[in-house]
Amino acid sequence: MSSKTLEELNRVIGYIKSDALEPEDQKQIVEDAIANYNEFVNPGWLKYRKSVSTNEAFVEWMDEKEYFYDVYGEKFIDCLGGFGIYMCGHRNPEILEVVQAQLNRQALHSQELLDPLRGYLAKALSEITPGDLQYCFFTNGGAEAVEMAIKLARIATGGRWYISTVGGFHGKSMGAISMGGKSTYRVPYLPMVQQVQHVEYGVAEDVRKAIKNLVAVGEKVAAVIMEPIQGEAGIIMPPAGYLKEVREICDEYGVCLIFDEIQTGMGRTGTMFRCEAEGVVPDILTYGKAFGGGIMPITGIIASPHLWTQELQDNPWVLGSPTFGGNPLACSAALATIKYMLENDIPNQASKKGDYLIKGLKAVKAKYPRVIKDVRGIGLMLGVEFPQSEIGYEVAKGMFSRRVMTAGTLNNSTTIRFEPAATTSYEDLDKVLRRFEHSIKDTAELFDLL
């Protein structure tokens, strides 16, 4: 068995090291990918991918700039952006250069001594976030960051209850999914963290009532957690003033306010963090996705100093001790990403290109009002809503067949997302809009909606 495994590994590593694949290698990789996913990953995965592809099997192999390529060299414009990862494009050379330099020096660290890059990154983050946000804790994935946020709120306030929103999405670990507001994800794991009350998103008075009623019966609320714009729910924008009012309610009752900016942050919505545009500072802010520059996974939280209690200072690891959280390689990517975003004003690029893209999408909606129900969002976090999920699936497949990657939310395509890199050229945005209109026209004909 070991000799067979070694032979297989040598073949696969040969593919990785190869500058160019032979036709027989390309075919073999596709066949292997299908078999391996069905037999060793999850047999449902390929069925799920029908939401963004045709009946063909596409295997992603390389990327650059605003594009990715399949194993045969087919080029796609990436308008999904890994659900928000690629704000600076794929394998941005300026970020990649820094990561490669760090890799040549040190990848991981001893866990015991001081790692200077973690400190440099925490300082930089405190300078680009609003208000008094200062102390950082770095993690590896979005759900892990949310876990740290809700644990910090509990330690700092002594509260046990959380207020979250219907439709909200915060990840799929047990604590994070307990905060989530979609039954699809919650039901298989019930019961979970029980002290969570969900309220309607966008209605501040519901937050007030929930906290007031809990306090009235002797319960203490640790935190309110929400996305400044709901992503997984379908790019849902709250009404003007909502976040400010929630901030005031939290201040009134001494409740911690957590903004989950894992998707909305790092320039995606036209400001470095969405809460800046609303003039609101949370007590805890989570970040991720684009934070690693599309090259390394790194997420985390940043919090106001008053939350860092004596208990946390006496035992710095009581909050968590992720082995790979804040490792030197990931920190180097985040440092280079922040530098690139500031030098190239990525938030402003996202704002201008988002205005351009949403104008074009709305022009298509005006031509096909029976196909497109709504176009919404801000910056480069945009959603196009359809009357039913099957129509969205067809549009996404039509875009994919025209070599543009978009996708719906994880469970359906009633709304499909447009989250391209801020570095995407206007020429490519025009291509996206043309191909989108062609996909809409074909879908209108298929569903008799002309």
Residue 193: DSSP 8-state: -
For residues 295 and 446, is the Cβ–Cβ distance under 8 A? Answer: no
Torsion over CA: 442, 358, 130, 282 (sign): negative
Provide the token pair at 269: 């919505």
- Within 10 A of 42 (CB to CB), how many other CB atoms are there? 11
| Angle of CA points 275, 277, 280, to nearest 5° | 45
- CB-hemisphere CA count at 13 Å for 187? 3
For residues 404 and 76, is the Cβ–Cβ distance under 8 A? Answer: yes
Q: Strand 60-64's sheet: what is its strand order?
A: 60-64, 67-70, 75-78, 404-405
Provide the token pair at 250: 């939290």
Q: Which residue ranges does the chain devote to CATH 3.40.640.10? A: 93-343
Q: Which residues contact 369 (CB under 8 A, 6 or more apart)?
A: none
**CATH code of the region 93-343:** 3.40.640.10
Instruction: For residue 111, name the pLDDT band (cuts at 50, 70, 90).
Output: confident
Q: Collapse the DSSP code of 439 into the 3-class scheme (helix H, G, I; strand E, B; otherwise coil) and give the result.
A: helix
115-170 residue pLDDT tens: 999 999 999 999 999 999 999 999 999 999 999 999 999 999 999 999 999 999 99
- Report the amino acid identity of residue 408: G
Nearest by Cα to 115 from 403, 421, 325: 325
Q: Which residue ranges does the chain devote to CATH 3.90.1150.10? A: 17-84+345-446
Nearest by Cα to 121 from 352, 420, 358, 330: 330
pLDDT of residue 267 exceeding 60, the answer is yes
CATH architecture entry for 17-84+345-446: Alpha-Beta Complex (3.90)
286-331 residue pLDDT tens: 999 999 999 999 999 999 999 999 999 998 889 999 999 999 999 9
Percent of the chain residues topping a pLDDT of 90: 87
| pLDDT the model gives residue 411 | 63
For tokens 């940043």, what's the residue?
Answer: 302
C-alpha dihedral, 190 to 196 to 198 to 203, nearest 10° = -170
pTM exceeds cut of 0.75: yes
Residue 37: DSSP 8-state: I
